[in-house]
Amino acid sequence: MTFDCDLFVIGGGSGGVRAARMAAATGARVELAEESRMGGTCVIRGCVPKKLMVFASSFREMPAEARAYGWSIPDGTFDWGAFRSSLDAELDRLEGVYRRLLAGSGVTVHDQRARVADPHEVELADGRRISAKHILIAAGGRPERPDLPGAEVGLVSDDIFRMERLPASMLIVGGGFIACEMACILQGLGVQVTQFYRGAQILRGFDSEARGMVAEAMCGRGIDLHLGTTIETIGLPDQIAAGRGLPVEELRAAPVALLPASGPVAVRTVTGRNCQADAILFATGRRPNTAGLGLAEIGVKLGRKGEVLVDSYSQTAVPSIYAIGDVTDRVNLTPVAIREGMAFARTVFEGVPTPVDHDLIPAAVFTQPELGSIGLTEDDAREAEEIEVYATSFRPMRSAFAGVEDRVLMKLIVSAASRKVLGCHIVAPEAGEMIQLAAIAIKMGATKEDFDRTVAVHPTMAEELVTMRSPVRRG
């Protein structure tokens, strides 16, 4: 059978673009459709703009610290408009880079939505149909609002980067990566931040000791964090004060002008607590972006959240269709989507069957301070086998000299039997940079004695990873 192309990719994010380019490098005819901006969540409305906002927010405390070191620097003011102009220009530049990479690889790009019409055919929004030997779904995910009356008046993470002005106050609902990072960013930019999370502690899934330290640091920076808190009602302040519900039409109809002209929004929790803020951010989860793609109709199996179910080679129940990245809801991280795209291209177009390796993936949460993590948490490791825990918490030299009370945590989880380092957890400035290097050793199977044999770099925070000699806990 003759096809219009060898591969059609739906989605122009990091994973889809990498897969398209690698396939094209083998001589395959590749086409790609993206209904929004090239670069996807990471480049346009996720990792990249978020990290630039992290950098911007980190300067708030710099003048006071600099004065402690002898510099005469006055406190400054933050100009959201100036920053957003520079941010938009940088995102435009990066999108241009992605487009040039695709063009240079010979990939044909369609700037419109696409759906799967049958196992070997894609239908574009303009009605054209393109046949393909293989179809790759790399449509990513989207933020999800809670099932709560009036939730449509709140912002989601995509909206943060498009705000026309900073609110004076923000209520953030959620306790995961995005909620905690945005809380620290906005607080650092001068916004009064309140955070509600229904769980007992933020950052579920990370090491409990590290989670507690991050939560304590966030509170110390002025974030009003409330755990075990669930919203019952949203409304205008006078409605909430009177115990009434929400006529949504009295609030803004869409979130992005981007703050309510009608004044603050208020909420009431299930325990009767009232809270009001200029804006609400719902960071309560993300959902695979599979709605309307026509997948279930042709036999592709989907999970409970709409995720595409795939095998270890990213192949779906329909042999000609594959899926990678957040749309599969396996490990929702940009580098993982890129690795999955590379493995797909090697398997299908290079003839080298390459399963995706999801073991020992490092992660970083860009709170202030950052949290870097790889491997098992202390609780999970203890359930699996006998372990030793090596940990230390201290005020780093830079903070101590400046009279800042910030503390850092360095923690290793070690198998008592094999002596392998099962997990590493760091709470510190630049923890993301440190965990990347520690991850190499742990992925290679390093033992505690391998760490001990490594000479420390002094004076650094990270030297503690190779100088801890006695376990603080066993079990």
User: Would you name the residues annotated as active-site residues?
Assistant: 458
For 164, the token pair is 């026309």
* Whole-angstrom distance, CA of residue 14 vs CA of residue 6: 20
Would you say 419 and 447 are in contact if contact means Cβ atoms under 8 Å apart? yes
Could you give the CA distance from residue 3 to residue 395 in angstroms, rounded to a whole number? 63
CB-based contact 215:204 (threshold 8 Å): no
CA 96 to chain centre: 23
Assign 225 to helix, strand or coil.
Answer: strand
Q: DSSP characters for 388-437?
A: EEEEEEE--HHHHHHT----EEEEEEEETTT-BEEEEEEEETTHHHHHHH
Give the dihedral of Cα atoms 422, 469, 207, 227; nearest 10 deg. Answer: 170
- The CA distance from 381 to 307, in Å, is 29
Angle at 313 between CA 312 and CA 314, to 5 degrees: 95
What is d(CA 159, CA 166) in angstroms, rounded to the nearest whole number?
A: 12
What is the spatial distance between Cα 442 and Cα 423, in angstroms, rounded to a whole number?
A: 8
Distance in angstroms (rounded) separating the CA atoms of residues 305 and 238: 37
* Collapsed DSSP state (helix, strand, coil) of residue 195: strand
Helices (H), 115-207: 157-160, 177-188
